[in-house]
Structure formats: structure tokens, C-alpha cells
Structure 1
Amino acid sequence: MYRPFSAPILNRPLHATATAGAQAAADLGDLPNWRLEDLYPSPASEEYRNDLAKAETDSLAFEAKWKGKLAEAALKAGDEGIGAAVRKFEALEDLMGKIGSYAGLTYFSDTTNPANGKFYGDAQAKLTDLASHLLFFSLELNRIDDAVIDAAFATDALAAHYRPWLIDLRLDKPYQLDDKLEQLFLEKSMTGAGAFNRLFDETMASLTFNVDGEELPLEVTLSMLQEPEPEARRKAAQALTATFKANSRVFTLITNTLAKDKEISDRWRGFEDIADSRHLANRVEREVVDALAAAVKDAYPRLSHRYYQMKAKWLGMEQMEFWDRNAPLPETPTALISWADAKETVLSAYHGFAPEMSEIAERFFSGGWIDAPVRPGKAPGAFAHPTVPSAHPYVLVNYMGKPRDVMTLAHELGHGVHQVLAGEQGALMASTPLTLAETASVFGEMLTFRALLEKTTDDSERKAMLAQKVEDMINTVVRQIAFYEFERKVHTARKEGELTAEDIGKLWLSVQSESLGPAIRISEGYETYWSYIPHFIHSPFYVYAYAFGDCLVNSLYAVYQKADGGFQDKYFELLKAGGSKHYSELLAPFGLDASDPSFWAKGLSMLEGLIDELEALDKA
């Protein structure tokens, strides 16, 4: 079922890096802006207006032809069969997805531009209205007996083609409401959760942070937490705290409203656990996620606690302040990495794994599919948006020339390669559940990191690289599971009534102190840092997908290192599958089973091994 464009996931916003100043920007080279003209020439273009009109005409015609007739169509084949109906529905999904993607990407290019906001809002409203005419389709399909659908697979070639989508759709059947209620939920989403998502985005984009009298945007201020000078990090942390506190009423209202909105929806649909709707959307079993979370929490002392104790010693501190967590080591190179060098680094690493992977990634550079500069109003962080199979994906980064920016570029291009390959499945089956959505991105990072590490012969430089990778993995695994536990606490507590900013801050500190360990002092002000994490707003309980993906890729990479041959072919088959197969089926060719409790321990062992290597270098 079409969903209007929502905010893309901003991947690992804490990894965003920046360096203020025109000279620094000049050192980076010519940073590309994306070519949204590949979708439409402009919001006022005839092409855009024509497609919007076509979407309306086709949606109404689809409703008139198929509503109330799907049970009968399931008994036929050819142009009047259920497969033909799904194919037409898929064409509508692609068309409406293109319209929504263009509006969303235009908006996220500059969320502070009122014209962009109006364009985005109008497009969302129109697409939501059209989606209400298509809502019957999935609901009616799920009322058809399983035996009738199974018979259609045998007699209708088109239905057989869409079998994975139809089977997957039926997993939602126990949680469906009647048609009128579903339509109400859909139409009210624009003035409910959707409105509060937009309020968060526009509020966050408009915030500034005062550092030594200079008003800085979020990206630049966050980047100062990675400055070599402790005083610069302290000032940035205090600036972040001051602005978050000044806006705490807004962020608290948004959090309370969205948590209550989710509780209402879950209660009406009959979900038992607060995260069950996310697990269903991810097509992953609750016990698998519970096992992941338990394994990571059990490993806190061996991973984050141990590493941060080592880092405190390297920085000459008995205990680090929270703003020192991402501080660079003294050995860390300070030279900026130009855009051209970043491009060469990532493409070379991808080519070393498989030329096809590098060729696909290169299209993002040559085709204008990447938006790289930091600018006022632009969405913070980074994301890869798939748009629709008839077009191509786009990548947004805020490139500032730090080593972590190169890793972020490798991460997002991994998503982009995945989206290009999965696009072969068509609009209905290209989307990858979150269980595997981070696979290609994290794998791309690992390839880039390993390629750089192999070229490094200097022990101090190797130590800095290993430390940076360990911190990235801790942020991706330990921190994201802590985020997941925080969300569980917030949504559970919200059932008992509204939460104050102080209530939410206490829940935040409880999970942060547990995950970070005794080597980091949780000073006053850190209780506000839950405010800016976009995942909590746009996609509740999304965050465990990062830990899932990182641990999975660690196991996958271990298989790659031991493989005699054929790994690349199996890997590309996994990416090409999109959402057409369950993750367990896609992992089986690699001999991996995420339902095995030991699976997560194996994935975490790679991170532990990197910490071991750092410890050995430190003693050498």
C-alpha cells in the first residue's frame, strides 16, 4: 500500500562531521549537488502537473474497475485476473512514489524554505487523498481465502510472479481493521503523526547553537565534539545543551504525542508488545531481536566499557566527560580529505570486492545522484533514498572532509548499490526489510575500512584507524541497542501518562550510563541529548536495525574472508532479492542463521577482536 514520502532515515547522525570556514570548504574540492531534474524539471513543471493528474485519473479508474471484484478476479487469469490487478497497482505505486520522492527530496534540500514546505505538504495531502482510493486493494486481497490465492498462483502466471508480495501482504492480515477505520487512520495521518514529524524536521533545521558568540547549525556544532581541543568540545556540548533545553517543550510535546499516537494504533490493531509493529514491518521475529539486544547488553563490559577505559588513558584522563566520547586520538591525522580522494577511496575499495559494485556506485557521482555540501536548511546527517525503480536512488551526505565522512559516503553508497540492484524486483518487491536494509551499507563501510587498513604500515596511524572503526562499531551496535532500550522505556512509561522533559531525560541517562560504562562521566546537560535523534520520531524502534546489520555483516565478512570463491555471486543475489525473500532464506547460502543464539555472539566477536588488537598495539 502506498505511503506518502516520509523523512528518510538519517543514518548515524552522531557521525556527522564538519569544519567551519570557507578555506576548509575550498580544500574539499567541488562538492556535487544532486540533479532532481531527473525526476521533474521543477515543482511548477508541466511534467509534474501531468503526472499528478495521471495519478488521480488512474487511481480513480483502478478503484472503479477492481473494488469489490478481487475475490472474483482471483478465480480468473489474464487481463481480468488477480495478477493483472497487482501489476496495475504496482504501476500506480511507482508513479505516486516518484511524485512523493520528488516532493520529499526537494523539501529535505532546504527544509527552511517556505515554498519547499508548502510544495511538500501539498504533495503529501494530494497523495494521501489518492491513497485512500487504493486502500481497499490490500484489505480486500487479505479477505480472500488462502486456498483461492494458492490456486491463483497455479493458474495465473502474473499472480505467480507477485507471489512473494501477496504472501508477505497476508502477514498483516491479523492486524487489519475494517475498511472505514483503515481509511480514517490513513487520512488522519497527515494531521497526526505526519504533522508532528514535519514539526520536528522544521524545528531541528531552524535551530542554531551559540559557540563563542557565533550561531552554528547542528551539523557544525556536533562536529566540534570531534575536535582535538578539549575546550572546543566542551563549548560545543554546552551549546547543544543550551539550545536543546530552550526547545525542550517542543521536543517533549512531539515525543509524547507520537508515543501516544503509536499506542492508540497498536491497541486498535492488537499488537501485544510496543515494538511488535516494527518487528512485523521488518519481517523479523520478536525473539530474534530480543536475543540480539540481550547479547549486546551482555557484551557492554567487554566492548564499550573496556574500550572507553582504554581511550581515557590515551587521552590522559582518569574519566572522560560525555563530550570526549568521540574525541580524536592524538595519532589521528588532521588533514582534510578532498571529495576526489574520498570518491577514489570508496570506488577503489568497492572495485577490489567486485567491479560491478564499483560501476554501480560510480553512477552516483557521474549522474548527479549525490548531494554533498553542508548548507543552511539542508537535512542533517546522511541518507540514501531509493525513490522508485523507474527512476534511480539519491544519496544525501554533509561532507566535511573527515575520515568518518568517507566512511559515511561508503555507507550510503552501499545503500545506493543495494537499491539499484533490488529495483529489478519492481515497485512492490524492491523494498528491503530493515533486517537486511543495513547489510550493503555496513558491508561497504567494512570493505572501505579494510582497504585503507591494509595500506597502512605506520603503527600510530593504524592505531588511530582501528580506534575510529571501533568507535563507529560501538556507535552502530552498542549505542543503537541503548537507543532501542530507551525507546522501550519511553513508550512503556507513556502508557501511564504524559512524560515531562525531566522524565524522559532520566530514562535517557539510565540507558546511557549502562551502555557507556564508568570511564565516561555523565555530566549535567547530557540529559537533553535524546532530543535530536530523528529515528525516535520518524521510525520508532528502527534503531535495532543498525545493530542487526552490523553483527550480520561481521558474520558475513568472516564468511567472505574464508571463502574460496563464489561469495560475490551469492552476495549480489542477496541484494537483488530486495523484499522478495525472508532474511533467513537469503542468509542460508552463507551458512548463517540469525535464529541461532550464538549468531550474535559471533558477530560481536569481530568488534571484540579489534579492541584486542588495539590493546596489543598499546602494549607494543
Structure 2
Amino acid sequence: MHLTFPAPVFDANAQGASDKNFGDLPNWDLSDLYPAADAPEVQRDLDWVHTACATFAADYEGKLADLDGAGMYECITRNERISQVAGRLGSFAGLLYYQNTTDGERVKFFSDVQDKLTTSTAPLVFFSLEVNRIPDETIETMLGHADLARYRPIFERMRKMRPYQLSDELERYEHDMSIVGASAWNKLFDETVADLSFTVNGEDMGLEAIATLLSEQDRDTREAAAREIARVLGLNIKIFTRVHNTLAKMGDVEDKWRGMPTPQTGRHLSNDVEPEVVEALRNSVVAAYPKLSHRYYELKRGWLGLDKLQVWDRNAPLPMEEKRTIHWDEARKTVMDAYAGFDPKMAAIAEPFFDKGWIDAGVKPGKAPGAFAHPTVTDAHPYVMLNYLGKQRDVMTLAHELGHGVHQVLAAEQGEMLSSTPLTLAETASVFGEMLTFQKLLADAKTDAERKILLAGKVEDMINTVVRQIAFYDFECKLHEARKSGELTSADINALWMSVQGESLGPAFEFMDGYETFWSYVPHFVHSPFYVYAYAFGDGLVNALYAAYQEQPEGFQDKYFDMLKAGGSLHHSELLKPFGLDASDPKFWDKGLSMISGMIDQLEAME
């Protein structure tokens, strides 16, 4: 998962967590951002941002249309520097918070930094609004300036928002209210999830630990975990229902004021992707449910010897799969060998993540669940968060998040405004890293049983990335549409959730009582509405890219690294052109989906 504004630790040089099964798991060293939360550098930069924003507004508000190209270039670079310093502060505070979301000091520090940055940057709200009032011909004249020309994508994206921007006063009001708006509900969600406590076989654990039990070999353990998750979510469902109701209504109100035609429009704009491209992706995946998830889970039902699969069987290992804990050093070697096999430069970029405290891997009380790679700012480096539990999927998660990290390092040369990729493209390098790791493991497999286990695992991961995420997207679309008609009860949201589950997973499944609440802990619905289709976009794109790599490996690496270096400076159509690919063509998505179908063909042939 790629986070845009995360998290840190008050002891910025804490020692790595150690586990007798996993080895020495690294902790973040956040001193590359700031020495500590109470370091004078933090206050220095907060003061600098406050002054810089006020000075910027005094120098430019009401005057942008009168600038020439050189003047606009100076304006942009000053704005970019403010973003860099503010981003460093926000990243540090966020990374501390996500490392322990239940620590009161970290919670306060994160909230205080967000509050101060929101207040300080309020004077900048005028900038995009005023740019969008400048006539097109004036902007074109400015962009004739050689240094400013590279920022053309920034102006183009801003101007796509022209039809939807509010008055200056309302935009300022929304900016000032943001800290008690969506971000406050996000924090309530995060803190509620972090506080959840589950008990299985007499052992107390958090969400991350119990979720991993769903992939245990023992079916009774998987069932106990699933039922305990359902029980605890049921106890907290009122909070989650309130969070989702509020955020969906907030989105509806904003969309109405802005005149956005659909709840998804804002996400498509921020992703710099056309609605019809997303619709083509969604329709291709839904049409493929029978030949992908339905077909695979019917195979799995037979392997497990069951009349019906239950939700606790979805990620179950195959019967012949050995239970094995993967040591951290082995996980590192597996991923690094795969990266080096593609290109030694890729491994060289990934190496510092392990050696310089750029990864936080251990499962710890209060730590946010899941995983992410956060780019921080372009004059620092990314940080990766994992919750490593020694499973094969954890190795793939490491490969995934390191792919993000490599992408973020390469894109940093674009500078603060152009380095960040839209979410649809942000998943490209991460999913490609997973694919490289999988192909390495498959090539090294010594028996048909090993190959079968690896193929099945990869198919499941791809189904989770493509089928499951598109089902999530459909759920969100239904939720936001239903909320327009009034408050939704927990039962209403549960029903929407179940309406997409049977369709996507297929007839091999039946669903236990309580599964209807499993929507409630998915963080993407809260933090980044409609984010989830980006995973399917990224997987389909990578499948097509990998097919191109297999068909014509000569020179592929250079084109691939150029694509990552471009960051957010090019539209997806331009990025894919060197590979002869076009995401607007429905056949593009069918090509990606056929790779998954082909792996299921191989599994069927092994029967």
C-alpha cells in the first residue's frame, strides 16, 4: 500500500526488533528527517514554513497573471521548496504516529504538526485558483520559458480542476476545516483499529496477527480466527458505520458544491486517468470473474476436499504445502536476488533500505496494520513499513513495497512537484517487483509440487489484487451512491458488501454469519476512497509489461527505468508508448487478465 502522508519514532535510533524465528527485524532510523520530535530543527522548520507561506502570498496573490515566464518559474520553485519542507515535517510526524498509533505523545505530535501546517499553508490556497483564472494563451506564453516548460504537467493537472473549483473563500474554508474533517475521521478509524484486541486459543493479539492466522494450515485455527474477527468487528460496527456514513456524506456534499458528476470523479482527476479507462478495466475484470476467481476457487475446493469453501479457506495453503517460517535474511536474499537478476542497478537502489534503517519490519503493539512505502520528500529518501510474520506472502509484500521504494528513489530527481505518480501508476513498480520475485522462485522450484504451490500462491495474489480490489471498488461505488439517499445502517452497508462478494468469489463459496462486517476494517475505504482500482490497474499494466519483457527483453530495462524516473511528469499514455501498450484499449486489460487465466490453465493441467 502507497501512503501519501504518513508517520515516525520519538527515539529515532531505536534498535531493530528481534524474533527468534525471523532474525533481527529492522526498525526505522528517522534521523535522516529529524533527530527527534523535540529537536530544535522541527520548530525551526515549522517557523520557516509559516513565514515562507505568508511571504509567498504577499509577493504573488493577485499578481500571477502579470508574471512572465521567468517570474512564474521563480514562483513555482518557491512553492516547491515550501512543499518540500512542509512534506518533511509531515512525513516525520506521520511515520512516528504509524509506528505506534496508541502512544499519546505521538498522537499529539502528529496532530499538532498537521494543525500547524494546515494553518501555515492556508495563505497558499489562492495559488491554483488564481492560476486557473489565467487565460490559456497567457499560460502558453509563460510556458515558452525553457525552465518553466518542464512544469507543464502541473499546469495541465491544475486546469483540469477548473470546472470544479469553488470560490476563493470557500476553498480557504475547506482548507482550514480539513484537520477536523476527513483527517480527524481517519485518525479515529486508525486508533480504533489499532486498539482492537482478538483472542484465539487463549492468546491475545492485534488485527495484523490474527489476519495471518487465516492462512494457517490448520483449518480449525483459520475458522477460529475468522469467527473472532467477525465477533470483534461486530462489537465495534457502530463506530465503523459512523465513520463511513460521515465520510461518504462529506464527499457527497463536496461533490455537489464542486459540481463533480460522480463520487469517483475526484479520484480519476487525481489519478490523471480518464473515467472510460477505469470503466474498461472494471468491465473487463467483472466479465472475467468466471474464468478467473470462479474457476480457481473451484480447483481449490477440490484440493482441500470440501463441498464448499468458507471465507477462512480463501487464503488457506494447499494440503501438500509445508508450514515454514521464512527468516528475515532469507526474505531479503530472495527479493534482492530477483531484483539483481532483472538488473543489478535495481538491487543497488534497494540495498540501503535494509542497511540504513529505511524499513520497519516487526509487528509491535499499536503499530498500524498492513504495509506501505512512503516517499517522504525528494531531498531525503523513502521509508517502508511492514508487519513481517515470516510467511511467503510477507516475502511478496517485501518485494512489493521495495518496488515502490525503488520507484520513489528514481522519481525523486523530478523534484517535489513532479516526482509523485498518480495512484494508477504508483503500483507499477511494486507489482513488477512481486512478479520478478515470483518468477525467480518459480525458476528455482525443484518439483512439480513446488511449482504448483508457487503458481497457486501467485494466482491467489493476483486474484486478491485484481478481482478482489475491483469488487471493493464496486462496493464503494454502491456505498457512496446509497448514501446519497440518506443515512445507512450497519445492516445496509453489510448488504452492499455481500452483494459483491458472491459475485466476485463465485459458487465455490458459502459465507459464515459475521462475514458481512468485514468491510469495516479496510483502510482504503476511509483514507483514500476509490483508491482500490489502482491495484487492479497496476496488476493489469504489469502483466502487459511483463509479457512485453518476455517477448522482447533486449533494451527493456532501460525503458523500464526511464518510465520510473519520469515519476508524475508524463501521462500514462506517454509512459506506455515505448512498450507499444495503450491502457485506453480494452484489449490491453484482456491481455493482462489472460496471464492470470494462463496460470490457472497450468494448474488445471497438473490435475
> Under a length normalisation based on structure 1, what TM-score does the superposition of the two structures give?
0.95
Quick check: 1:31 aligned with 2:25?
yes
Equivalent residue, structure 2, for 1:15: none
Aligned mates of 2:575, 2:366 — CA distance in 1: 40
Equivalent residue, structure 2, for 1:127: 117
Equivalent residue, structure 1, for 2:321: 332
Q: Is the 8 A contact 1:5 1:97 kept in 2?
A: no
Equivalent residue, structure 1, for 2:365: 376
> Are the structure 2 counterparts of residues 5 and 519 from structure 1 closer, same or farther at C-alpha, using a change threshold of 3 Å?
closer
Q: Is the 8 A contact 2:18 2:24 kept in 1?
A: no
Equivalent residue, structure 2, for 1:45: 39
> Are the structure 2 counterparts of residues 7 and 432 from structure 1 closer, same or farther at C-alpha, using a change threshold of 3 Å?
same
Equivalent residue, structure 2, for 1:83: 73
Higher mean displacement: 333-342 or 306-315: 333-342
Equivalent residue, structure 2, for 1:144: 134
How far the C-alpha of 1:564 sits from its partner, in A, is 4.4
> Are the structure 2 counterparts of residues 552 and 60 from structure 1 closer, same or farther at C-alpha, using a change threshold of 3 Å?
same
Residue in structure 2 matching 1:220, options 194, 209, 212:
209
How far the C-alpha of 1:164 sits from its partner, in A, is 2.1
Aligned mates of 1:7, 1:38 — CA distance in 2: 15
Q: Is the 8 A contact 1:225 1:237 kept in 2?
A: yes
Quick check: 1:153 aligned with 2:143?
yes
Quick check: 1:464 aligned with 2:458?
no
Equivalent residue, structure 2, for 1:320: 309
Aligned mates of 1:68, 1:355 — CA distance in 2: 51
Aligned mates of 2:316, 2:603 — CA distance in 1: 16
How far the C-alpha of 1:130 sits from its partner, in A, is 1.4
How far the C-alpha of 1:212 sits from its partner, in A, is 2.8
Aligned mates of 2:501, 2:299 — CA distance in 1: 18
How far the C-alpha of 1:367 sits from its partner, in A, is 1.4
How far the C-alpha of 1:48 sits from its partner, in A, is 1.0
Equivalent residue, structure 2, for 1:99: 89
Q: Is the 8 A contact 1:112 1:202 kept in 2?
A: yes
Q: Is the 8 A contact 1:5 1:124 kept in 2?
A: no
Q: Is the 8 A contact 2:18 2:25 kept in 1?
A: no
Higher mean displacement: 399-408 or 23-32: 23-32
How far the C-alpha of 1:214 sits from its partner, in A, is 2.6
Q: Residues 478-557 of structure 1 correspond to what in structure 2 (within 5 A)? A: 478-557=467-546
Render the CA deviation track for 1:297-348: whole Å, top value 9, x for unaligned.
1111111011111101101101111111101102223221111111111111
Quick check: 1:58 aligned with 2:52?
yes
How far the C-alpha of 1:139 sits from its partner, in A, is 1.1
What secondary structure does 1:205 align onto?
helix
Render the CA deviation track for 1:417-463: whole Å, top value 9, x for unaligned.
00001111000000101121100000000000001100002111111
Equivalent residue, structure 2, for 1:13: none
Aligned mates of 2:19, 2:160 — CA distance in 1: 49
* Counterpart amino acid of residue 116 in structure 1: R
Q: Is the 8 A contact 1:107 1:120 kept in 2?
A: yes
Aligned mates of 2:517, 2:535 — CA distance in 1: 23
Aligned mates of 1:72, 1:557 — CA distance in 2: 48
Residue in structure 1 matching 2:428, options 439, 464, 483:
439
Equivalent residue, structure 1, for 2:10: none
Q: Is the 8 A contact 1:415 1:437 kept in 2?
A: yes
* Counterpart amino acid of residue 130 in structure 1: S
Q: Is the 8 A contact 2:69 2:143 kept in 1?
A: no
Q: Is the 8 A contact 1:6 1:538 kept in 2?
A: no
Q: Residues 163-562 of structure 1 correspond to what in structure 2 (within 5 A)? A: 163-562=152-551
Equivalent residue, structure 2, for 1:111: 101
Q: Is the 8 A contact 2:50 2:121 kept in 1?
A: no
What secondary structure does 2:570 align onto?
coil
Residue in structure 2 matching 1:565, options 545, 554, 557:
554
* Counterpart amino acid of residue 349 in structure 1: A
Alpha-carbon RMSD across the aligned residues, in angstroms, is 1.3
Q: Residues 569-580 of structure 1 correspond to what in structure 2 (within 5 A)? A: 569-580=558-569
> Are the structure 2 counterparts of residues 5 and 416 from structure 1 closer, same or farther at C-alpha, using a change threshold of 3 Å?
closer
* Counterpart amino acid of residue 86 in structure 2: M
What secondary structure does 1:529 align onto?
helix
Q: Is the 8 A contact 1:477 1:550 kept in 2?
A: yes
How far the C-alpha of 1:84 sits from its partner, in A, is 0.5
Q: Is the 8 A contact 1:295 1:600 kept in 2?
A: yes
* Counterpart amino acid of residue 605 in structure 1: S
Aligned mates of 1:472, 1:283 — CA distance in 2: 26
What secondary structure does 1:556 align onto?
helix
Higher mean displacement: 330-339 or 467-476: 330-339
What secondary structure does 1:395 align onto?
strand
Render the CA deviation track for 1:178-224: whole Å, top value 9, x for unaligned.
11100111111111111100100000001111213332100111011
> Are the structure 2 counterparts of residues 402 and 24 from structure 1 closer, same or farther at C-alpha, using a change threshold of 3 Å?
farther
Question: What stretches of structure 2 of length at least 5 have no aligned partner?
Answer: 8-16
Q: Is the 8 A contact 1:25 1:400 kept in 2?
A: no
Aligned mates of 1:317, 1:466 — CA distance in 2: 21
Q: Is the 8 A contact 1:372 1:397 kept in 2?
A: yes
Equivalent residue, structure 2, for 1:616: 605
Render the CA deviation track for 1:127-157: whole Å, top value 9, x for unaligned.
1111211111111111111101101122x23
> Are the structure 2 counterparts of residues 564 and 43 from structure 1 closer, same or farther at C-alpha, using a change threshold of 3 Å?
closer
How far the C-alpha of 1:353 sits from its partner, in A, is 0.7
Aligned mates of 1:44, 1:567 — CA distance in 2: 47
Render the CA deviation track for 1:559-602: whole Å, top value 9, x for unaligned.
00011411111111110111111001100110001111111111
Render the CA deviation track for 1:355-412: whole Å, top value 9, x for unaligned.
1111001111111100000000001010000001011000000111111100000000
What secondary structure does 2:384 align onto?
strand
Equivalent residue, structure 1, for 2:13: none
> Under a length normalisation based on structure 2, what TM-score does the superposition of the two structures give?
0.97
What secondary structure does 2:95 align onto?
helix
Higher mean displacement: 484-493 or 272-281: 272-281
Q: Is the 8 A contact 2:213 2:225 kept in 1?
A: yes
Aligned mates of 2:595, 2:121 — CA distance in 1: 45
Q: Is the 8 A contact 1:331 1:461 kept in 2?
A: no
Aligned mates of 2:533, 2:69 — CA distance in 1: 42
Quick check: 1:601 aligned with 2:595?
no
Aligned mates of 2:246, 2:509 — CA distance in 1: 32
What secondary structure does 2:362 align onto?
coil
* Counterpart amino acid of residue 140 in structure 1: E
